[in-house]
Amino acid sequence: MSNLFIPIDQFLDQFAQRYRPRSVEIKSLTLRQLYEYLLDHNIQSWNNCDQACLQKYIIYRHKGDKQHATFSKPLSLTSLKTHLASIRVFFDFLESKEIITSNPARLVKTPKVQQALPKVIAVDTIQELLDQTPDPDNPLEIRDLAICELFYSSGVRLSELTALDIKHISLSANEIRVMDGKGGKDRIVPLGNKAKEALQKWLTIRDQWMKQDNALFITQQGNRLTSRQISNRVKHIASKLGKGLKINPHMFRHSMATHVLESSQDIRSVQELLGHADISTTQVYTHLDFGHLSKVFDSAHPRAKKKPKK
């Protein structure tokens, strides 16, 4: 066995004294794979495993190698980030033992994890969903449709809607005051006509129920609806369409942002509606409908306009 492995054993022994077995197992697998890679490339000393070497290794693991049994499967960006974190901790250990003079792993770039695009409900589907006629014998459906209308109208987060009280709604001013669910500033959000009508119907019913709480949305016992209860009721409303739709509350927020941005092209207003502190968070919605953006480009850009046929 190469001398490369001796510090790995020492590190794992020390690490095992302070951390859970699963964490030790992950570190062990990572370092054994790195060890195998270094031997394959005839690197016999940790001092020869510099930044360039480690960067090549990370790229190699990202691409995978079908010809190599250990490295045949490419690592995802998330797995690579965890992989590199383990290597950095190990090289800190090597530095502390003066086996190396500095930690080259700290200079290796951490792969960027690609942000998954939010799932958006098509406009036609949303219209069909919200235009459902509630069962007159089931007041819960009137409440649930009001919840869905408010989600789509305001783009509030689930935690924000759950926290809404009666006092936060102003039907006369067509607005709601949202207590920011991410610890930022509270914000005023306009209330659409459809959402206003749905809320008016719901408030008539709410006044007839036991009211032990000031919450806007309550159970028949008068208690504030929980986030889980609201999520389940949204799924119930979606299931009534019979199209196998899998809809969660956050999809209304994504859909509102996308549809407003597509119509207005005003990203600053969408940022304010959503309560994003940084516009870069809002910019994810500009990538959702490339077809729409392509049409805008083709019609508006002076070098993209098609010349009329002669």
Active site positions, annotated:
157, 182, 250, 253, 276, 285
What are the φ/ψ torsions at residue 165 (nearest 5 degrees)?
-110, 165
| Residue 266 CB neighbours (<10 A) | 12
At which residue do the structure tokens 């669910």 appear? Answer: 181
At which residue do the structure tokens 């383990």 appear? Answer: 86
| Residue 265 CB neighbours (<10 A) | 13
What order do you get walking across the sheet with 175-178 strand by strand? Answer: 169-170, 175-178, 187-190
**Distance (Å) of CA 13 to CA 92, 103, 139, 272:** 15, 20, 63, 52
| DSSP per residue, 173-187 | TTEEEE--TTSS--E
227 and 215 Cβ atoms separated by less than 8 Å: no
**Chain-centre distance of CA 161, in angstroms?**
18
What are the φ/ψ torsions at residue 156 (nearest 5 degrees)?
-70, 155
Percentage helix, strand, coil, to 5, in the chain?
A: 55, 5, 40
d(CA 273, CA 253): 10
